[in-house]
Amino acid sequence: MNNDLSILAVASNLICEKYGIKIDKEEPTYNPIMLSGAPALEYHDHLWLIKYHIHDRLNFAKSYPNQDKSFLGGSETIYEIIDKIYKSEPNSKWVLKVKKLLAD
């Protein structure tokens, strides 16, 4: 999986260079969303838009804690990303569902 993501990152950079797409900020963004009633994240970085369930990302973080910060870019762990969303949307349905996931 990490090799596939590395290939996508290089492809994204090449497309930006070829078509003169200027990326001012090298910082990915995460938007909390619901997919099929489950909490998920929408990840934006360069030309990427990836949606994934929080449950899957938490399982990855537990299985590969040393790769959690590098997985899907950025320099934050999934727990740091969740914490930021908790602070900005403390009473949202997304936060309540993630808290339940973390308690299980």
The predicted-structure confidence for 8-34, as pLDDT tens digits, reads as follows 667 777 887 888 877 776 677 889 999
pTM equals 0.74
Higher pLDDT, 28 or 100: 100
Mean pLDDT of the chain: 84
Higher pLDDT, 74 or 34: 34
pLDDT at 98: 96
Bridge partners of residue 31, in order along the sequence: 42
**In this model, does residue 79 exceed pLDDT 60?**
yes
| Residue 98: partners with Cβ closer than 8 Å, 6 or more residues away | 39, 54, 82, 85, 86
Cα dihedral 92, 98, 102, 104 in deg (nearest 10)? 100
Return the amino acid letter for 56: D
